Structure 1
Amino acid sequence: MTRLRRPRAWIAAFLTVPIAAGFLLAGGGVGMLTGVLTAAVILVVAARAEVGATIEVAEPGAGVPGGLLILAIDPIEDPRTAGIVAAIADPSRPESEAGGILVVAPAKSSLLQRWTDDLEHPRFESQRVLTVSLASLAAAEVRAEGRVGDGDPLQAAEDALRTFAATEVVVVAAEGGPEGAIAELERRLDRPLRRVAPAPP
């Protein structure tokens, strides 16, 4: 798994040398300004390095749950979709690894809701998605646990994978959903990802 490297000695030098030079050659004001600009450059470089990094997944072990992670961007509410997910979760299939099933429903919000800090409605809707999905899976004889996740599907998956040792990820999303986030998740994930499109209403 790709991990971010620890800061090297040249980073400290890159930060301290310009500041010291600014103080010595041009006084405190320029030195302070140089320090701020240098720190900003380092933050930008660090952010770019982190964006493309492989998502870290919890290591399986004692006390660490794992198995199949289902990212329910849209609800699992029809028998066909529940049946597809149940087939993927079937522990008897050759490529399956025994484990639990975790359903995460991102608390999606609109631009207006974010502007007005309306967090109640998105969480209520995500709770509905989660409840319907868990009930549909139970009807298909699939036992799963669930939680509400971050409004950004990519962040919701990252948060869940920090504590859930998933061997496979299933994204339930209708066509025309957050394609960019799904593509980025698949690109940064080092294990299988399947997409299941629920039946149209």
Structure 2
Amino acid sequence: MTLSTKETLQIQKTNNFEIIKNIIKKKGINCFHLNLIHFYCRNPHLSVENLKYLKEKNVNFKQPDPFIFLVQQKIISIELIQFFLELGKHLNDKDTSQDLPTPFHFLCQNYSITPEILSFCLKNEADINLQFCTPFMYLCQNIFLNEDILKFCIQNKAGIHFKTQNAFHFICQNRGITYEMIKYAFENEFPIEEDNQVRFLFE
């Protein structure tokens, strides 16, 4: 049995465990084996159960790294992150060109992130101050950033400086900004000016 890319995508979008099991048992689907996991990690209904089954069947979990697709999902969980960490993936890994953000950078942009997920990542050696711009700066741009997450990051010594901009500039670009968040930033001595740049607050 052979499958086109379109057919592959249609099958993975259904998230039908029985269909996946039946197809994997067929012959002549090496392309499916190679590509399924990368498409599948874009599935908003992704489950650990199906990932484990695919791993048992030796579906390719290598490049392009499916972990990058996972951390950009609309629905993310500690269980899904843990599955990839147990495979030897790392939240701080950069791609071979060093030009792309790490999985943790992408995760910090994810609207589904919670203090619990952040706590789990930090316990698993995620570096909240890793340079690209820092993951904390991505959090500051996140439209669903809330006071609990902001406080959690500050309490965990998240770095707020990067070159000529700082985290406060990014907070001021956030459409979800609240008075409480600004007030908390001021009370915790956020620098509001660096290299004479305060423009985002007033644009």
Higher RCO structure, 1 or 2 (CA under 8 Å, sep 6+): 1
Flag whether TM exceeds 0.5 (same fold).
no
- TM-score normalised to the size of structure 2? 0.22
Max Rg structure: 1
Structure with more strand by fraction: 1
